[in-house]
Structures are given as structure tokens and as C-alpha cells.
Structure 1
Amino acid sequence: MARPVTNAAFEGLLLAAGYANSHAAFSRQLNHTGRKEGAWRYDAASVYWWLRGRRPGEHVQAAMAETLARKLGRSVAITELGFGSGDSIGMCVYPVTVDGAIDTAEQIWTLAKHLNQQAGGTFDSGKALEAALGWRYDLPDKTASRNGRQQVTSTDVQSLYALADHFTDLDRRHGSGSPHTRAVMADFLVRQVAPMLHGTYTDAVGRDLMLAAATLSGQLAFMSYDAGEHAMAQHHVTLGLRLAKAAGDRLYGAHLLANLATQAVFLGHGREAARLVEAAIDGAGRAPAAVLARLQATAATAYGQSGERRACQLALTRADRALDRTGTDPGPRWVGYFSPAHLAGAALRCLGDLHLYSQALRHAPDALNLAGENTRTRALHTALIATTHARAGETDAACNWASKLGRHGVGIQSARVQQRVRELANTLGSQQASPGVNETLHALAAIPAALQGEPGHVR
């Protein structure tokens, strides 16, 4: 017995367009409309399930609307199709199955591809903690193999890692970039990676593919976070966590969870961030020294923000000891970015949050001893040093460091850097009676505009 139709709006459009009894004809026209997206193979069975509640990706809905518009002789809005908004797919929800993760990936990446301005929505700390629990305690996936539309090989997967490295380098040098930059990356994920996830591959290739997809999704998450698109960043990193779980790579999953904790710290959710990074450390187990150093540094920033002085200082000590062992225990290639300068920056941040300004500023020289490609981090640390001096009442030193921000911020597009500049200006604003502060505030006011770069320009 056929299931009852649950999408009356879509059924009505099919009826009006003459497809009520010709679902196969509609699917053929849909495949033709969507040919620019790849080789679609939707059929009458696909239409059956769409009528009964299954929700296609936004790019498929756009092609549906275009197909129906040609027959009806009028424009058809996606909202008329009856599939609901993008929020209805529960993008922040940690997918239970690998198939669910693959479907969610296509939907999230499609949504990101079509965003031409900052995404709405806010960071959901409750959903973040749920994702952490799912990643840490759900049973491992038995297999990552799949039979689908195209054959995927190990060589195909390696090309994805090369692309991830490219976007990572651009991000570190220039910041998150314009919305167009992220849309370009999302478009690649929709056109190339999503069909690969739906393809045919062995368990070994499948797990490597899941990790590559997690790496790309994690990079897009970090870029979205740096751009201030916090809901979208959380969607991407939650998906990345699930794909890392499917890949069986607990270390990269812990890294992504620590990124989520870093985002929570930035937004002021210190206690939730501490729980997230504690889950990451627990899930990482006997991790390489470099991974442990990075995780403990993140824990220190979370504890510092939440006022847990003893836990903060203990985490800093553990991070420092782990970093000393990285020469013999370097860990995965993706953690190679984490250096003594990054740990110094974390110490500067968390000790400053605890009002231990003298201790914090001892780390200032090391915080700037960065490799040349870490342009954004240098700007972030410079602003943090200036702000710490200002909070310590050392106005002249704060103004001196503030003067260096214009030079370090050239060519960077980063909402986080802009936020650090605003924090510095607000801190100095209460000390305007001091000579030189007004001049510094005037210079700082011009920095955020300079950080924006040229609209729409991909750096």
C-alpha cells in the first residue's frame, strides 16, 4: 500500500504543470535542468519520496523550481515547493549514521554555496555539547564502503588533501576572505566532493575520503568562524566531526572539537568551551605530543575565560611540557602549524583573562615569533599584547603596540582581528586623558575598514 502524500504543495505544483501522472517525465526534465551540477539520475521513485517527506538539497530544489516554471509559464519560488527552510534539516545536529552525514554534507555545502552575505543564526552551545557526546561515545562505524554512481580511488582522495592545504594556506595568510571566497570553496564541495561521497569505494578508500571531506569541512568551518558567521561555522564543524568519526580518526576529531571550543571561547561561552575541550582531550587518548600541546593550550584559554585559575595554569604547564616533546613525537601533518608562538598567544590570552597581566606579558615576545605565513595570527597577537598593556594601565606601551597593528593588518580579512581592534579601542577609550591616546584611537578607527579589503575580491 502506497504511503500518503505529506507534501501537498509539491503535489499541487506537479498537478498544475501536468506531471501528476508523469513523475518519470518530471524527473527526466529535472535531470536535464540540473546537468550543470553533474550527471543526475533522479527518477519516478525519487519523486515518490519527495512527495512523502524526503527533502532534496537546495540546488535540487532550485532546479525543480526552474523545471516547473518552464511548464507553468511563471516564476516558481523555492519556498512554494513545500520542503521548508534550510533550518529544518537540523544542520547543527550530529548525524547518527554515515548516510545521514553524507546527505547533511550536501545540504550544508549547498546552503553555504548560495550565501552571498553573512549567514544568520547564532552559536548553539547545547548543540555543540551534544555533538561532543556523539563523537566521543557513539560506537565506531562498522564500514565506510559504499556502492554509488562513480568509482572513487585513493588518487582521487589525495587531490582533496592538496586542495585543503591550499585553502588553509590562503586562510592563514589573508584571513577568511570575502563571502565569495567561501562560496567558491562550498561550490567545489557540492560539485566534486558530494558526488564522491555518494560514489563507489572500498572501506579503506571510504575512510580516507571521509577524513579528506572532514578536513575540507573543518577548514570551511574555521574560515566561517573567522568571518563571524558563527552558526554556519558550527554547522560545518559538526559535520566534520561526524565525518572524522566515520574515518576512524580520533585525533582529527579531537582537533575539530577543540576548534569548536575555540569558537565558544571567542563568543564568551567559557564553561561550555571547557567541557568541549575536555571531551576532545579524553577522546584523543594517548595522542602525539603536538596534538596534546594544542589541546591543552585550548583548555587553558577556556579555563582562563571561566575564571578557573588553577586549571588554567595546570593546562599551560601540560601544554608546555608536551611541546617540549614534539621533536621526537611530532604527530599528524595537520598539527604542524602549532608552535611555541601559538602557545605563547594562548598564555597571553588566558592569563590576561585572569587579570595576571605581568605574567601574561612575559609571553609577548614569544607570541610574535611566528613563521612568515601566519599573518593573521601575528595581527591577533599584536592586538592582544596592546590590549593587555592597556588593561594593565600601561597606556604608552599599549599605544606603541597599537601603532604596529596597521602594518600587520594589511591584506587581512578577518572579523576576529576586527574584534580585537575594537576591544583595544574600548579599553583605551577609558584612558583618553593620557597623551597620545586620542591619536591612537583615531588610527585604530581606520583599521577595521582597511581590514575589509576590496569587496568581492578573492585573495
Structure 2
Amino acid sequence: MARPVTNSAFEGLLHAAGYGNAHAAFARQLNHAGRNEGAWRYDAASVYWWLRGRRPGEHVQAAMAETLARKLGRVVDATELGFGPSGSIGICVYPASADGAIDTAEQIWTKVAKHLDHHATGAFDSGKALEAALGWRYDLPDKKVSRNGRQQVTSTDVQSLYALADHFTDLDRRHGSGSPHTRAVMADFLVRQVAPMLRGTYTDPVGRDLMRAAAMLSGQLAFMSYDAGEHAMAQHHVTLGLRLAKAADDRLYGAHLLANLATQAVFLGHAREAARLVEAAIDGAGRAPAAVLARLHATAATAYGQSGERRACQLALTKAERALDRTGADPGPRWVGYFSPAHLAGAALRCFGDLHLYVQALRHVPDALTLGNQNPRTRALHTALVAITHARAGDTDAACNWGGKVAPCAEGIESARVQQRVHALISTLGPKKASPQVNKVLHTLASVIPASL
């Protein structure tokens, strides 16, 4: 069933110009009008999505206005097209084409770089997340992504992007992403450096590699937004990353991004949707390296644990553990190298806690805290989770002992996820605040989270 048109202004202009039933013809004329920008490949499907809420980039709108003006015999201002102000990014839709992904990338990155509406977190849309999963898994692959634009892009240029992605990832893990300045700096780099590269000249092999690098950068910005509590924006970034990974023909990184989307869904309490997302990721990953499978199955376990599916949760944890045991001979892509036995133990700790199997959960505490110095945020998250698990198991003394370690672990880390977990610990200990020991810990923990929480 076709979606209803949401942009009646654009629809009216198309009809007035004689393109009401000729969307493919309009797309061809638009491609011709934008030939100086490179090899545009918009089609009828692009027009379909523009009519239903997707907002193209400013340069595309200018070409649209030019195309319509020729047919109408009058000047058409871009504001007449009905796409709203430049700060709007519309609904979170999986781009239908690689060109659409490039337009969306420039639009979203510009929004973040300009700090537009960075205080408005928006809501996570599980329906749109599942649509993105279906698009990534079942849409036909892009036949080619080569392009002729203004800037020559080489393999060396792309390699520099991977190095920068590693840099931003390290900053995020060490310090968290709570500061909007951090994300704005990264988005500004994407607008100034990566967007022009995406619109440049490159061969198909270089283009695939460029799309992969852009997907990784978008995926990192998505995770940073998620860690900062900006869930709608995080979903936009990861959906874009999925489409770029599709254009790169990199199913493994696409599966990783889909698992990140599932992780976000678990955080927000959408357990069943999270399970469907990560199941699609596992299916799409196919015969993946062991490290990738370990990460995917661990994410599946957290979704099953939250929804109370004990057998499925335990089976997923077993699959993750077996896969992790095989990673010595099969390390996988460098981006999955972070996933360690400590991360799997943290997932198990959470899973068994969600299933109210506290004795089994606490067996994983030593491994969950065997983390390197490059993971202070994960250490803070795991330490708080250990305290919460002890508290829920009824061991107040142990909960206070671990609770007293949370504030030092969280010092210097700006993370909405850390703050949320500390808040959960405070809520769990709250009923026993009459105890001097508990009251002391609660006082210490209060310094970690903003008063608004």
C-alpha cells in the first residue's frame, strides 16, 4: 500500500508543471539540471519519497526549482517546494538510493554541525527501525557507485577517514559523548571534508571504500548521539550508516550497525523490536567472522533477557561464548576488536539480572570488570550494574560497597547512559535510604547525575 503524500506543496507544483503522473521524467530532468554536481541518479522512487517527507539537500532543491521553473514559465523559489526550514530533517527514512543517502548525510551532518535543536532529543521510532532493517537486508545491491564530480577522490584519501574514525571512537569510549560540542566537531568535519568527497569523482572500488568509511563515521556519530541521550538523532545517523554500508556492499558492518540499533532499542525498553532487529542482523551477516558473531549473539541475548525469553537468552549467550572462543584464529574486522570477554560478561550479567537469576548473574562479575584502560565508560556502566544486581538480590552491604565505587569510575565521563544507570541504582537503593550506609552511598551517587534526573 502506498504511503500518503505529506508534501502537498511539492505535489501541487509537480501537477502544475505536468509531472503529476510522470515522476520518472521529472527525475531525469532533475539529473540533467544537476549535472554540474556530478552523476545524479534520481528516479521515480526518489520523487515518491520526497512527496512523503524526505528532505533533499539545498543544492537538490535549487535544481528542483530550476526544473519546475522551466516548465511553469516563471521563477520558482525553493521555499515553495514545501520541504520546510533547513534545520528540519523530516522523518527517519531509509534512503532508497546511494544518491539519496548522500543527500541525507549532508543534511543531517549540517544540522548537527550547526547545533540546530541539539537540546531536543526526539523519540526513537521502532517501526522506522524495522523498515530500515528490511531495506538493508532485502533491497537489491547498488550496481555501481562511481561518480563524476568536482573533487578527485583516491584510495589514500579514504584511508585517512578510517584513521579519523578510530580517533573519534577512542575519544567516545574514554570520555563519553554527553557534550554537544564533541558531536558538533565531528559533524563539522563530516560536512567540510566527507560530504564533498561523497560528491566527488571516484571509481567504483574507491567509491565502495568511501561509502564504507562514511558509514563508519556516521555509525560512530550515531553511537555518540545514543550515548548522549539524543535518540531520534542517533536513529537518523545509524539509518544513514546502514544505507551507506549497503552501498559499500559491506554486509558485516551493516549487521554491526543494525545490532547497535537493537542495543538502543533495548536501552529504551523495546525488547521485542530489538530482538527482530538483531535477528535480521545475524541473518544478513551470514558466515561472519567469529568476533562479529559473538557481538551479534550477545546483543540478541540482551534483547531476549529483557523480554523474559529465558531459553532463547541462554542459547544466544552460549553461541556468543563459543564464537568468542574462536576469535583467536578469526579476529574479524578491526571495528569489532573492542568486543572482549569483559563485554560478553557484562551482557551476561545484565541478561541474568533481567531474568531474576541473580546468583548466575553475579558469577560474571570478575570477567565483566576485566577491562582495559581504554574503556572507562564501560567500566562505569558495569560497576553500576554490579551494584544494582547485588541490590536486587537483597545484598545491601555488597550493593553499597560497589555503589561507592561508581562515582570514581564515572568521574570525567559525560554519558547519559552512565547517568541513567546510576539513577537506576539510586532508585533500587532508595527504599532503604533510612540506613546510614545506604544514605551515604546515595549522597555520593547524587553528584554523578544532573538534578533533572
TM-score tier, shorter chain, comes to 0.7 to 0.9
User: 1:1-400 maps to which residues of 2 (within 5 A)?
Assistant: 57=57, 83-85=83-85, 89-115=89-115, 117-400=118-401
Identity of aligned residues (%): 81
Which digits, 9 at most, give the CA deviation of each residue in 1:128-173, with x for residues without a partner?
A: 0000000011111111111111110001100100100000000000
**1:119 Cα deviation from its structure 2 partner:** 3.2
Residue 404 of structure 1 is matched in structure 2 by 405
Counterpart CA distance in 2 for 1:359 and 1:429 is 25
**1:58 Cα deviation from its structure 2 partner:** 6.5
**1:89 Cα deviation from its structure 2 partner:** 5.0
AA of the residue aligned to 1:208: D
Which digits, 9 at most, give the CA deviation of each residue in 1:288-342, with x for residues without a partner?
A: 0000000000000000001100000000000000000000111111100000000
Counterpart CA distance in 1 for 2:164 and 2:429 is 42
Residue 35 of structure 1 is matched in structure 2 by none
Residue 429 of structure 1 is matched in structure 2 by 430
Residue 25 of structure 1 is matched in structure 2 by none
Q: Secondary structure at the match of 1:263?
A: helix
**1:371 Cα deviation from its structure 2 partner:** 0.9
* Structure 1 residue ranges without an equivalent (≥5): 10-39, 43-51, 62-77, 453-459
Residue 447 of structure 1 is matched in structure 2 by 448
* Structure 2 residue ranges without an equivalent (≥5): 1-8, 14-35, 39-49, 62-77
Q: Secondary structure at the match of 2:447?
A: helix
Counterpart CA distance in 2 for 1:181 and 1:58 is 25
AA of the residue aligned to 2:221: L
Q: 1:86 and 1:92, CA in 2 relative to 1: closer, same or farther beyond 3 A?
A: farther
Q: Structure 1 runs of 4+ off > 6 angstroms?
A: 58-61, 78-81
**1:83 Cα deviation from its structure 2 partner:** 3.4
AA of the residue aligned to 2:84: G
Could you tell me whether the CA contact under 8 Å between 2:55 and 2:90 is conserved in 1? no
Q: Secondary structure at the match of 1:122?
A: coil
AA of the residue aligned to 1:162: A
Q: CA RMSD in A?
A: 2.7
Residue 45 of structure 2 is matched in structure 1 by none
Could you tell me whether the CA contact under 8 Å between 2:145 and 2:204 is conserved in 1? yes
Counterpart CA distance in 2 for 1:126 and 1:6 is 26
Counterpart CA distance in 1 for 2:11 and 2:284 is 42
Counterpart CA distance in 2 for 1:59 and 1:91 is 20
Worse overlay, 86-95 or 160-169: 86-95
**1:433 Cα deviation from its structure 2 partner:** 3.7
Q: 1:283 and 1:87, CA in 2 relative to 1: closer, same or farther beyond 3 A?
A: farther
Which digits, 9 at most, give the CA deviation of each residue in 1:163-213, with x for residues without a partner?
A: 000000000000014101101111111111111111110000000000000
Counterpart CA distance in 2 for 1:136 and 1:87 is 30
AA of the residue aligned to 1:83: F
Could you tell me whether the CA contact under 8 Å between 1:91 and 1:104 is conserved in 2? no
Could you tell me whether the CA contact under 8 Å between 2:37 and 2:199 is conserved in 1? no
Which digits, 9 at most, give the CA deviation of each residue in 1:366-422, with x for residues without a partner?
A: 000001100100000000000000111111100000111111111100000000000
Worse overlay, 103-112 or 286-295: 103-112
**1:434 Cα deviation from its structure 2 partner:** 3.5
Q: Secondary structure at the match of 1:404?
A: helix
Q: 1:432 and 1:58, CA in 2 relative to 1: closer, same or farther beyond 3 A?
A: farther
Q: 1:417 and 1:58, CA in 2 relative to 1: closer, same or farther beyond 3 A?
A: farther
Could you tell me whether the CA contact under 8 Å between 2:10 and 2:80 is conserved in 1? no
TM-score normalized by the length of structure 1: 0.81
AA of the residue aligned to 1:286: R
AA of the residue aligned to 1:362: R
Could you tell me whether the CA contact under 8 Å between 2:225 and 2:234 is conserved in 1? yes
Q: Secondary structure at the match of 1:329?
A: coil
Q: 1:58 and 1:179, CA in 2 relative to 1: closer, same or farther beyond 3 A?
A: farther
AA of the residue aligned to 2:271: G
Could you tell me whether the CA contact under 8 Å between 2:55 and 2:104 is conserved in 1? no
Which digits, 9 at most, give the CA deviation of each residue in 1:90-116, with x for residues without a partner?
A: 451111111111111111111111226
Counterpart CA distance in 2 for 1:297 and 1:424 is 23
Q: Secondary structure at the match of 1:268?
A: coil
TM-score normalized by the length of structure 2: 0.82
